[in-house]
Structures are given as structure tokens and as C-alpha cells.
Chains A and B, each alone.
Chain A
């Protein structure tokens, strides 16, 4: 706040009417603070193993300090107050007055969570209870640790500093003596500026320059100040205001201000503060009145008020949306993009030129130019996608904290090992991965790793290890989470699955199949629910989220040895290397990565299992067949369109794909080729259609659906459930084909809407 009673603005301040709106920088501040908080968290976790690392402490302190500075500037009082107390604690640690004990780090880590909340909180809201509690905690810590017991805020003087004399509006005659030290210039101070500012405070009647101390020229040091001044001026300003002119040189000068005419009213400090108190009381009284009025109006205004709230929520949402919608990109990536665009422009100009003066002999050249353009486009495509790529380490880092928290609350000893943090992954996938990974890590720490005594008894080291690893494999990203904990007890899983009606009591399942059951909705082997990872939901969410990204989850577990969950994801959600196939008169896209092979499909190779569907036998392996014509719900005419009677049925192909963990043969009429396709989401216009992951636009402008091959793996799941209905044993492949057909028919209708 600017004191309202400056008798006159500072000379250069003729723009004081201008209102400077800083809210536009709030977003930057929020993003920056979130970064600071994250790096504080990482720093604190590192501090556990290096409690004396001065540079680490310094950087944590700097982060808190920066947040505090900005918070104050944006009027986020709570955040400012909270970081202030945090900063005090960190400062103590930095000056080695306090040690980074586990307790202190614990409190600091909890503060991190509070900081995050405060960052999102409404600036006008009251200080949340957990924040207040932590402030007390911090004060207590500092009280105990410090001999001075000084948890008193050091800034108490701040509030009352520039409060001027309230009603001394009479003109006073002042005599101001200004005697700078010789060293005045060393602070970059220009005494003329000070005098000019002083003069601006009133009307100068007399100004004396005292040059008595000025030495002879031979002895004169031009960098020293030998002069002093005395000024007489008439001003309506209080003495304190005049003194403020010399605020910055108080330590470098002797300043004496005397009043030649006594003020009519003494403006002593107590009098001021009582006026201030009176004013405050007055204001709060009027606030109360306002409140009463509002309360009276409230029945009528309820709706309007809620409308206001709605709008505020809406705008809050928009801001939040804006936040998640932004992305930071390394400059070299952008530079490369600009280079590529440059090349593309050149290629275009060249092509255009050739088309302009076209003659048949130019054709090879033109082809070449188009090929160059294609190369450029492809590379541009890749580079643009790379812009969206973020290192998976940003996600992994988060779990250091998760594991720490669980270890703290359960008394376990857990170490988290991270590998492949530099592996880059599409930003939107990284976001989608957050929840499933949290579930996995929590599960591993909470249910997987055993208590130290249990581990020792089992001949394992007391400290359990959770490993997260990310790497590329065959054009896909693999994320592996493993622990050396108790592993999954398949017997418990079986019991539970029977209890929940997921499998029949007689079902014969392999250990692997049993393990996969924990990915079923509502399945949890832990009987008691912990406060950290406690939920019956969880693993099914993992599976669903991963499938949403066209990925797969796999679990390998051995009782007593630990579990490994492997998530495989495509590199990006937006582009896909596709195999174009024709089915009837339709063109479909199959993700090339899931295609294993293509075999000619003569009718005599198809084995029909009565009532159970068809399989094709390839190298002594029976692979269930899926007729895409039915899958798409094509009519007979449409299905046979484009096939002449001569080749009817005999030129068909089976594209063998990897659907989840099983092979499925998709029956197609023709392979049209392979190309990169841009995946367009269907959900924006249509609802999600089972079996399709989206659609793309072909070169000729037609829309082609993209088959969700991984989604076909859901048939697996279906087949597992069949025995429940039929109280039979687990389904052989053929039965799962029938199951597939049921789904197929169910889906046919919806798919038809699209095609």
C-alpha cells in the first residue's frame, strides 16, 4: 500500500494515477512456484542422506524465498505467511543453528503438501487448519532447537512503518541538516538527488552549502564527499516523511531535522496507533453492518450469489485448464523445428516453380522434389511430436515421496531405485500414467514390501527395494515396476476370485492367469484397508488407464520373491504406423506394431468348431478368427462388394495380430499398404466405440476406422468370465472365440454408425 498522505508525489512520479495490473503474471508465478515446490521436495528427500549439504539447503531456502516474495506481491497472504515461517526454519538450518533431523525433514515435507494446497487456494480464504498446525509445529521445532527461542516473526515492524501523522496538515518550518560521511559515494548515492527530493516536499526558503571541509586540490579525493548541507523549508509533511527522503543514507550520513515552529498537535506514536485502532474498529463495525444487510437480503440473493460462485469456479477452471494446456519446450527443439519449416518452404517453392514451367521431361525432378518434401514433412511430424515428449523422470521423481511417506507410516524400510528417467514419453500419456503408477508404487510399498522383521525372518535384507525402470523396446515404451516383497499369493487370489464370483470354484487357472485376476474391477487381496493405498479399486484402474493409451499391462509374481508389473505403451497417441486393409467396401487401419504376420486364408484352412466359431491352424497353432465384416456390422452386399465371384472367399487373408497376450486372426479381403496415420479421437463427436481406437483421414479424404487391436485382448478377460455363467471350466480358445463373437455382435451395431 502506498501511504495516502504523501504530501506530494516524488518528483518523477507524475504517473501515479496509472494503475499497474500485475495479475497477468500470476500464471507464471504459479507455474514457477510449482517448480520450486517440486525441487524443494526432491531436495528435502536428498537431504535425508546428505543433511550437511550446504548448497542443497541453500537452494531449498532460495525456492521458499522466491515463493514468499511472489506470494506477497500477488496478495496471496496465506502462502506468504506460511512460506515465511518455512523460510525462518530453513534459514536456521542454513546457518547451522539447526540440524536436518528426520523430524525436521518430516515437518518440511508435510509443509510441501500444504504449499501445494495454498498455491491452488483462493487468495481470500482463511488460513487452512493444517497450515496453521504446521506453522505451530515449525515454531515449536525452532523453539526447542534454538537457544534464543525466537520464533517471533521478525517483520512485526513492517505493518506500522510508514504510518504518517494522521492530521498534521499545518505548514511547519523545518531545518534539515544533512552531513554525509566521506564514503557516501561508495553507495552510488547522489546527494543532489536527495536534496532535490527534499525540495519537492515543500518550499525551500534557504539552502546552505557547507564546504569548510573541502581540502586543497592536491589532497582532494574525488571519490569522497566533503560537503554538507542545511536546508530550511516549509512543508505540510510530518518529520518522519522528510526523514524518509534520507532512508537509504541513514547509515552514511548524519541527518538532523528540527522544527522551528511547534506543531499545534503532538503526533506521538501512541496517538497515531490509537487513531489507527479507532479507524479499524470503525471499519469492522461497518463491515458488521454490511453483513447484517447482506443477511437480510440473502433469501432473495441466494441465487445470484450462487451464480457468482459458479462463474468464479468456471473462471478458476479456465485458469486451471490454461495451466495444464501449457508446455515448456527446450529451445533447441524449437530451433530445429524452425529449420525444418524453412526447408519445407524452400522445397515448396522449388516444387511450385517446376509445376509452373512444367514439361514432361521435368517429371523425374518433380518426383524428387515431392519426395524431398515428404521427407521434410515426416521429419517435421516427428519433431513436432518430440515437442510433446517429456522425460519420464519427472513422473518417477514423485514416487520418492510416496515411498518415503509409506515407509514412515508403516515403519518399513524401503528404497526406491529409478532407472531410465531420461526416457521420453508423450506429455498426455505421462499425465495418464500418473494414476496407475501411483497405484502400482503404493501397492508395492504398502502390500508388497514386508515389515523389516518379516523380511529378516524370510532371509531377505531388512530394506526392501522398489525399482522403476523405463526404456524403449521395439518401438514401444516399456515401464517396469518391480519390488522384492512378498509377491502375490495365488491361493489367496483364487479364493478371493471365487468369492467375488470372478471364476468358478472348479476353474483351473495357471498362476499367470490368476495373477492377472487382480486387474479385475473390485479385486483386492489385502483384507484390511490401509489409509495410504487402501481401496478395493486400484489395479483395475491401472489396467483401464493403460488400455486407454493402447498399452498393455502384465504381471509376473512369485510368492516370497516379489512382483514385476510391466506396462507397454506406444510411443505416442497421435500418430501410428498403420496397415491399411480392405474389408468389403471399407478400408480399415490396423496398428502395424501389433501385426505379427499375414497368411492367405483358403476356406479349407479354416476349422469350424460347432457353435463355437472358427480357428485357423498355422504351424500347428490354432488361432481364433475374427470376421471383420461382422465386427463392422457390414451387410452382405457391402461385405461382398469389390469381390468378383471368381475370387470369392479364396483370396482372403488372415492378419494375425497380437491382441493383448493372445493371437487373433483378423479376416480381411485385401492388404492396401502401410502408411503413417494421424489418430483422430472419435469421442469428440461420437461416444467411445468398443473395438475402435479412433479413426483417420485417408489421402483421398475418406474416413477409415482404426481397429483397437489391444482392445480385442479384452476378449481374454471375457473368456475368463465365461465359466461363471456356464459353471464350466476355464474357456479353451474356441470358447473365447464364441465369446468374441458375442462381443462382436454387440459392437457391430455401434460400429456401423460410424462406417
Chain B
């Protein structure tokens, strides 16, 4: 089963995304923020990282940069959860090395489609 790491500080968002992914047949690991995600990535291999951008402790952009610096994670697909209207953030994420993005409001079907789009 493919493993996906969700990084989001919002419990409800993690619940929703997690639920959708499990329904879609994925295994889910959750992290509360970038640092938490890095800690978890050090212990577990995942197939894809799905991260929010605005988070306390370590934001999504920093997380993406960090992941891209690690040889083992360099080519890992990373999707960022962005919000319309924050085009600058999206560009920043792209520059940092995000594979793709999902625009909130969150739509379960769209999420699964997008995953299929980037997962090998």
C-alpha cells in the first residue's frame, strides 16, 4: 500500500485529507508541521508528501527545501496545499521544489485525481 505523509497543523484538515486518502486506498501518516514531518521522514519511507504551507514551527516551504536537500528524499513527489489568492506562495513553493499543488477549498475527488497525476 502506498504511504502518504500529510503535514498540516489543522486537525480537521488532517482528518479530512486522511480520511479521503484512506478511502482511496492509501496508508496515511500525519505530521503537525514541517519539523514534525522531517522527524517522521527520518524514520519512515513514504511515497508522497502532502503539505500545507502556513504552519507554525516550520512552514511548508522550508519543509520542501529541506526535503529536497536530502539525497534519499530528493525525488519524492511533494504536493502542497495552497489557497487561491496566494499566488506568490505557490510560486515560492514551486521554486522550492514542490511537485504539484492542490488548491483549497479541499475537494476529495480532486485530491485523489491529483495524487494519481504525480504518483509513479
Contact = CB atoms under 8 A, between A and B. Distances in A.
Interface in A184-213: 185-190, 192-193, 197
Interface string A59-79: 101100110111111000000
Interface string A239-262: 000000101100100000000000
A560 B50 CA distance: 62
A65 B54 contact: yes
Contacts of B87: 154
Given A20-B23, A22-B19, A32-B10, A73 B105 contact: yes
Contacts of B20: 20, 22
A99 B19 CA distance: 41
A497 interface: no
B62 to A, nearest CB: 13
Contact of B105 (A16, A80, A185): A80
B117 A245 contact: yes
Given A20-B23, A62-B55, A72 B104 contact: yes
B11 A187 contact: no
A229 interface: no
B100 to A, nearest CB: 4
Nearest to B71: A223
A187 B104 contact: no
Contact of B75 (A24, A185, A248): A185
Contacts of A84: 85
A70 B12 contact: yes
A404 interface: no
Contacts of A69: 10, 13, 52, 81, 83, 104-106
Given A29-B12, A72-B104, A188 B83 contact: no
B19 A25 contact: yes
Contacts of A192: 120
A11 B75 contact: no
Interface residues of B, number: 50
Interface string B32-66: 00000000000000000000101110000000000
A29 B106 CA distance: 13
Interface in B13-41: 13, 15-16, 19-20, 23-25
Interface string A464-486: 00000000000000000000000
Nearest to A159: B84
Contact of B109 (A20, A68, A153, A248): A20
B1 to A, nearest CB: 13
A28 interface: yes
Contacts of B119: 12, 193
A217 interface: no
Interface string B89-120: 00000100111110111111110110111111
Contacts of A125: none
Interface string A13-52: 1011010101011001100100000000000000000000
A16 B117 contact: no
A457 interface: no
Contacts of A189: 77, 99, 118
B3 interface: no
A10 B24 CA distance: 13
A300 interface: no
Contact of A248 (B16, B55, B83, B118): B118
Most buried by A among B12, B15, B94, B101: B12
A155 B106 contact: no
B12 to A, nearest CB: 4
Contacts of B100: 247-248
Most buried by B among A15, A69, A223: A69
Given A66-B13, A72-B104, A187 B97 contact: yes
Nearest to B94: A251
Contacts of A65: 54, 83
A197 B87 CA distance: 26
Interface string A210-242: 000000000000010000000000000000000
A630 to B, nearest CB: 58
Given A88-B85, A155-B84, A186-B97, A70 B13 contact: yes
A84 B84 CA distance: 10
B75 A188 contact: yes
A18 B81 CA distance: 22
Nearest to A65: B54
B109 A16 contact: yes
A66 B107 contact: no
Nearest to B23: A20
Contact of A193 (B54, B76, B101, B118): B118
Most buried by B among A59, A72, A251: A72
Interface in A130-174: 153-155, 158
Given A154-B85, A189-B99, A32 B113 contact: no
A1 interface: yes
A32 B15 CA distance: 12
A348 B81 CA distance: 53
A62 B57 CA distance: 12
A2 interface: yes
A10 B56 contact: no
B113 A73 contact: no
Contacts of B5: none
A25 B15 contact: yes
A84 B118 CA distance: 29
Contacts of A10: 113, 116-117
A158 B13 CA distance: 21
B6 interface: no
B78 interface: yes
Contact of A158 (B84, B99, B107): B84
A13 B113 contact: yes
B23 A73 contact: no
B98 A187 contact: yes
Most buried by B among A1, A18, A22, A155: A22
Given A20-B19, A69-B13, A72-B105, A62 B113 contact: no
A9 interface: yes
Most buried by B among A70, A188, A189, A248: A188
A596 B9 CA distance: 53
B117 A66 contact: no
B95 to A, nearest CB: 9
A28 B56 CA distance: 19
Contacts of A12: 112, 115-116, 119
B12 A13 contact: no
Given A69-B105, A84-B85, A247-B100, A11 B68 contact: no
A80 to B, nearest CB: 7
A61 B53 CA distance: 12
A28 B85 contact: no
A25 B118 CA distance: 27
B107 A1 contact: yes
Given A155-B84, A188-B97, 16 more contacts: A13-B116, A22-B106, A28-B15, A32-B12, A62-B55, A65-B54, A66-B13, A68-B104, A72-B106, A153-B85, A154-B84, A186-B68, A189-B99, A189-B118, A190-B118, A245-B117
Interface of B: 9-13, 15-16, 19-20, 23-25, 52, 54-56, 68, 74-78, 81, 83-87, 94, 97-101, 103-110, 112-113, 115-120
11 contacts: A1-B107, A18-B23, A25-B15, A28-B11, A29-B12, A62-B9, A69-B105, A87-B85, A155-B84, A193-B119, A247-B117
List the 6 closest A-B pairs by CB distance, nearest first.
A72-B105, A12-B116, A248-B100, A73-B106, A29-B12, A155-B84
